[in-house]
């Protein structure tokens, strides 16, 4: 995997999100936050994540996604269940993925973190194809951005404890961290 001069992942599908802005320090990337997402909850595929991250989601007010009406969120990259990568925000920009968050006493993780979404839920194993994409992507990010390290790869639940639980206990942290050496 490679990242181009404009901070886009080469070979990934690009679907730019309006839900981003400039980082306070574009050279200060020092954290990777892993997320799990499925829309509707527990269902995979269907394009609803793309619509959420591009402000095209029109949820039924009485449906399972009603609480997402008007929400403005994004991520840098989504890895779907088949292992396909979609990038929504270039890595040097601030994606709106972590919400109210802090890491090691430093608030506002979006300012300095890269957000990676995995299509999944907390209690079901993630797909092999996702790990086959995630691990090389993490290696590429660690090589490209010198402020990153394997110790600075965390789950959403670690930067927003009590508020978030993803990627959940079904995510194989040991596999990922061992692969990164």
Domain ranges in the chain?
13-180
* pLDDT value at residue 59: 84
* pLDDT value at residue 142: 98
pLDDT in tens, 107-145: 999 999 999 999 999 999 999 999 999 999 999 999 999
- The better pLDDT of the pair 63, 12 is held by 12
| 87 alpha-carbon distance from chain centroid | 10
Residues labelled as active-site residues: 117
Residue carrying structure tokens 């990568």: 85
DSSP labels, 129-154:
HHHHHHHHHHHHHHHH-TT--GGGEE
* pLDDT value at residue 111: 98
* pLDDT value at residue 36: 98
Q: Provide mean pLDDT across the span 142-168.
A: 96
pTM for this predicted structure: 0.96
CB 30 within 8 A of CB 20: no
Res 177 pLDDT > 90: yes
Contacts of 75 (CB under 8 A, 6+ apart): 35, 37, 53, 88, 89, 95, 97, 115, 116, 117
Q: Provide mean pLDDT across the span 11-25.
A: 97
CB 157 within 8 A of CB 37: no
* pLDDT value at residue 50: 97
Q: Provide mean pLDDT across the span 163-174.
A: 96
pLDDT in tens, 45-71: 999 999 999 999 988 888 888 888 888
Residue carrying structure tokens 């400039």: 22
Mean pLDDT of the chain: 96
Q: Provide mean pLDDT across the span 19-29.
A: 95
Class of domain 13-180: alpha beta
């Amino acid at each position: 995997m490679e990242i181009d001069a404009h901070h886009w992942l080469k070979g990934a599908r690009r679907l730019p999100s309006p839900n981003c802005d400039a980082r306070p320090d574009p050279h200060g990337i020092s954290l990777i936050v892993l997320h799990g997402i499925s829309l509707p909850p527990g269902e995979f595929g269907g394009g609803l994540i793309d619509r959420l991250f591009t402000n095209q989601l029109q949820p039924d007010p009485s449906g399972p996604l009603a609480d997402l009406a008007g929400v403005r969120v994004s991520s840098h990259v989504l890895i779907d269940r088949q292992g396909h990568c979609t990038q929504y925000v270039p890595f040097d920009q601030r994606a709106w993925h972590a919400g109210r968050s802090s890491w090691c006493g430093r608030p506002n993780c979006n300012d300095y973190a890269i957000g990676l979404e995995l299509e999944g839920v907390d209690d079901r194993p993630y797909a092999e194809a996702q790990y086959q994409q995630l691990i090389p992507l993490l290696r590429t990010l660690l090589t490209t951005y010198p402020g990153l390290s394997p110790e600075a790869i965390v789950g959403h639940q670690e930067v927003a404890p009590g508020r978030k639980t993803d990627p959940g206990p079904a995510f194989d942290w040991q596999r990922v961290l061992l692969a990164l050496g």
